[in-house]
Amino acid sequence: MNMLKIWGRLNSINVMKVMWCVEELGIEHERIDAGMKFGVVGEDFYAKLNPNRRVPTIDDDGLLLWESNVIVRYLSLKYGSGNLSPADIGERALAEQWMDWQQTTIHPDLTFIFWAVVRDLKENQDPDKLAAAGARLAKAWKLVDEHLDERDYLGGKQLTMADIPLGAAIWRWYNMNIDRPALSNVEAWHERLKQRPGFQKYVMLPLT
Ligand SMILES: N[C@@H](CCC(=O)N[C@@H](CS)C(=O)NCC(=O)O)C(=O)O
């Protein structure tokens, strides 16, 4: 069996999710820097791994997979069933619900703001658009805050794959120079995540 291979640069939120997951599960792996300043994604061989030419991509003993949340689901089920991937089908579906919600509801506005504030992209710096994105995000995180009122983690008492995409996103939200409402449950959950070595190693990095 060949060792898990992961292509992706460490300052990508989508790569962070996979790396944090791999660390939680203790999977032996090899990571290859790819994307932005590292190039690689433009090379001919890469299109065969991932025709989108994006990161992350994995090769797990011949299985080529892209889409960060799908990779997190796959690794969690294969290497962490009953742990990161809940054994109960309903609980697993609820975890997946939060993962998809991160992609559809949090990611577009968070990325818009991130590129304006951190990567200094002028076309994203329209104050009205930034304010609208910030307001939508605040509303969305409030929903997470309400959900966390009775739970330590999104899936209940323990960390599951549900926490990984939104956990990577909350670090970004709290580390950008933007206005934010106070959300005590989200803040407490963020503090819990910050205690985890995998989160410390791969998510708690300066934003670049
Ligand atoms: N929906 C995809 C998005 C992948 C994506 O857009 N990745 C970005 C980095 S976060 C990328 O590849 N950017 C171009 C690059 O790094 O060269 C996923 O979740 O994996």
Give per-10-residue mean pLDDT for the chain (208 aa): 95 98 98 98 98 98 98 97 96 98 98 98 97 98 97 97 98 96 98 98 98
Side-chain half-sphere CA neighbours of 165 within 13 A: 26
Q: For ligand 1, pick from 15, 43, 55 the residue to mutate: most ligand atoms within 8 Å of CB.
A: 55
Binding site membership of 14 for ligand 1 (Cβ less than 6 Å): yes
Binding site membership of 50 for ligand 1 (Cβ less than 6 Å): no
Binding site membership of 36 for ligand 1 (Cβ less than 6 Å): yes
**In the block, which residue shows the tokens 């944090």?**
20
List the structure tokens of 181: 């409402």
Closest ligand 1 atom to residue 69 Cα is 19
Q: What is the pLDDT of residue 106?
A: 98
Binding site membership of 91 for ligand 1 (Cβ less than 6 Å): no
114 Cα to the center of ligand 1, angstroms:
14
Closest ligand 1 atom to residue 67 Cα is 20
What CA–CA distances, in Å, run from 105 to 1, 15, 99, 133? 38, 19, 10, 11
Whole-angstrom distance, CA of residue 137 vs CA of residue 100: 15
Closest residue (by CA) to atom 9 of ligand 1?
12
Closest CA to 207 of 9, 12, 7: 12
Beta strand ranges found along the chain (DSSP E): 4-7, 29-32, 57-60, 63-66
Closest ligand 1 atom to residue 8 Cα is 16
Binding site membership of 13 for ligand 1 (Cβ less than 6 Å): yes
102 Cα to the center of ligand 1, angstroms:
14
Q: Which long-range contacts (CB under 8 A, 24 or more apart) does 132-137 make?
A: 133/109, 134/109, 134/178, 134/179, 136/109, 137/106, 137/109, 137/110, 137/113, 137/173
Q: For ligand 1, pick from 6, 10, 12, 58 the residue to mutate: most ligand atoms within 8 Å of CB.
A: 12
* Sheet containing 4-7: order of strands: 29-32, 4-7, 57-60, 63-66
Whole-angstrom distance, CA of residue 207 vs CA of residue 118: 7
Collapse the DSSP code of 171 into the 3-class scheme (helix H, G, I; strand E, B; otherwise coil) and give the result.
helix
The DSSP symbol for 57 reads: E
Q: Contact, 23 vs 39, CB < 8 A?
A: no
Closest ligand 1 atom to residue 71 Cα is 20
Q: What is the pLDDT of residue 22?
A: 98
Q: What is the pLDDT of residue 201?
A: 98
Task: Give the chain's length.
Answer: 208
Q: What is the pLDDT of residue 1?
A: 82
